[in-house]
A and B are shown apart, each in its own frame.
Chain A
Amino acid sequence: EVQLVESGGDLIQPGRSLRLSCAASGFTFEDYAMHWVRQAPGKGLEWVSGISWKSDDIGYADSVKGRFTISRDNAKNSLYLQMNSLREEDTALYYCAKDSGYHLIGSYCDYWGQGTLVTVSS
């Protein structure tokens, strides 16, 4: 059974940094691209970032480009999101999602975690 468990969410002040983690199990992690998708309170889904299976293709939403960094450790079956210079508008539930394939273009998310909440507020 595919399981994605996010962690690292917290209440944090604007301008600070936070690192989210996603522990994956139930599939061969190194064979699939992975994504972070967020959902602000009462709002829709927003794709944040994606990383291919070998980390050779990485993409970011314009809203986080230059502030967030996605990475993965295939040996640890883990996905990460380093979030710097956090803003109040980054407040959201952050989902880790498994891609259906190994690259980012044209693919979809076939499994999702339950999310970890990031609240940016002074």
Chain B
Amino acid sequence: QSVLTQPPSVSGAPGQRVTISCTGSSSNIGAGYDVHWYHQLPGTAPKLLIYGNSNRPSGVPDRFSGSKSGTSASLAITGLQAEDEADYYCQSYDSSLSGSVFGGGTKLTVL
């Protein structure tokens, strides 16, 4: 099991809004460490999507947004598009493990 827990899959119709949760603990997200999000299209390397809980790198549409509260974080995608179909991962730092940790990943299906 991953240190950060994500739902295995989410789905939504084009134009809809979906959210992906990332639940941690007091040694990672709850300790105040930032949460970052990546997406990975099939057969490609991961790409940074959100950093520092809610910041978008240049080039990432504002349809993608991140938030963090307590021991959890969320990624929201509005105006769902077919090209959003990918795997999404959250990542943070864990003080007990003295290293980075990833969520197990969430597969987004656009219906």
Q: Is the CB of B51 within 8 A of A113?
A: no
Residues of B within 8 A of A95 (CB): 45-46
A interface size (C-beta, 8 A): 26
Q: Is the CB of B99 within 8 A of A104?
A: yes
A74 to B88, CA, bound (A): 32
Residues of B within 8 A of A111 (CB): 48
Query: What per-residue 1/0 map shows which CB atoms of B24-46 lie under 8 Å from chain A?
Result: 00000000011010101000011
With A35-B100, A45-B89 as known contacts, state yes or no: A108 contacts B36, CB within 8 Å: yes
With A106-B34, A109-B48, A110-B48 as known contacts, state yes or no: A50 contacts B57, CB within 8 Å: no
Q: Is the CB of B105 within 8 A of A50?
A: no
Q: Which of B36, B99, B102 contacts A50 (CB 8 A)?
A: B99
Chain B residues packing against A (C-beta within 8 Å) = 2, 33-34, 36, 38, 40, 45-48, 51-52, 57, 87, 89, 91-93, 97-105
Known A44-B2, A59-B100; 18 more pairs at CB < 8 Å: A35-B100, A44-B87, A45-B40, A45-B46, A47-B91, A50-B99, A50-B100, A61-B99, A62-B97, A105-B93, A106-B33, A108-B51, A108-B52, A110-B48, A110-B51, A110-B57, A112-B46, A112-B47
